[in-house]
Amino acid sequence: PEEAVPDFLGGSAHTAHPQRCPFTGNLVGWHWSQIPTRQSLDVTFTEWSQDDFSKVKSSNFQLPNCSLAPHDMALTKNCIIMKINALTMNQVPFLFNLKGPAASLSMDGQSPVKAWIFPRPTSPDQFEPFGVDVPACFSIHFSHGYEEDDETGHIVTYFSGWPPSDSKDFLGAWGGFAPDFAKIPPTFLWRLEIDPIQKKTVSLQIAPGSDNVCTEHMLVHPHFVSRKCQFVYGTASNVVGDSTPPNGYVKLNVEPKKETGSSNSSTKRLREQGEANTEVDAYWFGTRYFTTEPLIVPKEGGNLENEQEAYLLGMVRDAVQERNFLAIFDLERPLKQGPVAKVWLKSGVPHGIHGCFAKDSQGGSSVFC
């Protein structure tokens, strides 16, 4: 009974990945709470007005057979997509403070996973949420999603994640003094296409043009979060398919424009591990530099329909000087030409993960990641 549940159990948590919809301007987020007795998740999606942050509309669902909340979501014009990784949690050592939350997780890197599609609270097309079987993989962050503007209406999302592996101990190689990258799977950008009518996966593949690019914290121009776009940006570790720390930034052309007589990039041979992908646009800071999640900020007064009229802002750690600087790239120039400016901080700052860009300190319009 509810009155018998201890105070330290229950409650809800909110995602670290709200998204601003370019169609409505609404900020879309979600919070959840576990239902341990049913091994399910209670999920509430909410859209807030960009004018005064008032709630526009909410919707609530229960996600069956989900003992752990997804980390991120993809947003389209009418849908919200979540991927449920093959993770389980041993609650006993966690509740008795014998292990931390990450150490209490186990995973099955060879197990198929599930993608769930929900209607957005404000979508005029409300439908019953449905799950789709997806081949084995492990998803981390979504860069963007969209609905194909043709008769198929297929849902397409891009996400960073690991290929199938024999991993059983979630993040076990990240413990201790430093991560053991020899045991950590490389992180790639993936393209997932779903048929919402047949309710099945059409394809899951490494995103076009990004094979062997080890990358994370993928983002697009904020005006294209829920739309088809050409470029995806993120931190870069290497372009040979290895697992190493991030020390650069990369620009991936995932929807290359078709040219007369050119071949379809999706049919190109994927490179073998160790073979460099020299076609990508990347910038490397060098040894003992470490990059964090970037922000893509549209240029003031620029054309929002032009993905490249924007800046990439990224915090970089110089481990030799033990200081950080903000690297600023003009996305109308190739990344490989380097940042147009570096803003050095007076001291080092902790390694960050997620953030947003605000035009002023008074709550002006922001760009979330």
CA–CA separation, 252 and 37 (whole Å): 44
Q: Are 130 and 116 in contact (CB under 8 A)?
A: yes
Average pLDDT over residues 237-245: 95
CA–CA separation, 130 and 201 (whole Å): 12
For the stretch 72-124, pLDDT in tens is 999 999 999 999 988 877 777 777 777 776 677 778 888 899 999 999 999 99
Whole-Å CA distances, 42 to 16, 182, 362: 17, 37, 34
Average pLDDT over residues 31-57: 90
Cα–Cα–Cα angle for 256, 261, 267, rounded to 5 degrees: 55
Q: Are 79 and 92 in contact (CB under 8 A)?
A: no
Cα–Cα–Cα angle for 318, 321, 325, rounded to 5 degrees: 45
Element (H, E) at 92: helix 91-95
Average pLDDT over residues 36-50: 89
CA–CA separation, 299 and 307 (whole Å): 10
At residue 79, the pLDDT reads: 97
Pairing of strands 188-195, 200-206: antiparallel
Please choose, from the candidates 194, 176, 185, 182, the residue with its C-alpha nearest in 3D space to the C-alpha of residue 140.
185
SS3 label, residue 307:
coil
Tokens at 135, concatenated? 């081949």
Enumerate the β-bridge partners of residue 323: 318
Tokens at 208, concatenated? 């076009």
At residue 40, the pLDDT reads: 86
At residue 288, the pLDDT reads: 94
Those residues with Cβ within 8 angstroms of residue 246's Cβ, 6 or more apart along the chain or in another chain: 216, 235, 236, 237, 290, 291, 292
Q: How far apart are the first and last CA of the chain?
A: 39
In the structure, what pLDDT confidence band is assigned to residue 347 with cuts at 50, 70 and 90?
Answer: confident
DSSP string, 294-309: -EEEEPTT--TT-TTS
Average pLDDT over residues 325-348: 95
Enumerate the β-bridge partners of residue 329: 312
DSSP string, 94-155: HHTTSS-TTTTEEE-TTS-EEEEEEE-TT-SS----EEEEE-S-EEEEEEEEEE-SSSS--E
Q: What's the mean pLDDT when you consider all of the chain?
A: 88
Q: Residue 354, exposed/middle/buried by CB under 10 A (0-12, 13-18, 19+)? A: middle
CA–CA separation, 226 and 22 (whole Å): 7
At residue 193, the pLDDT reads: 98
CA–CA separation, 151 and 76 (whole Å): 17
* pLDDT-wise least confident of 2-11, 311-320, 346-355: 2-11
pTM, 2 dp = 0.90
CA–CA separation, 346 and 365 (whole Å): 27
CA–CA separation, 243 and 77 (whole Å): 34
* pLDDT-wise least confident of 19-23, 45-49, 87-91, 272-276: 87-91
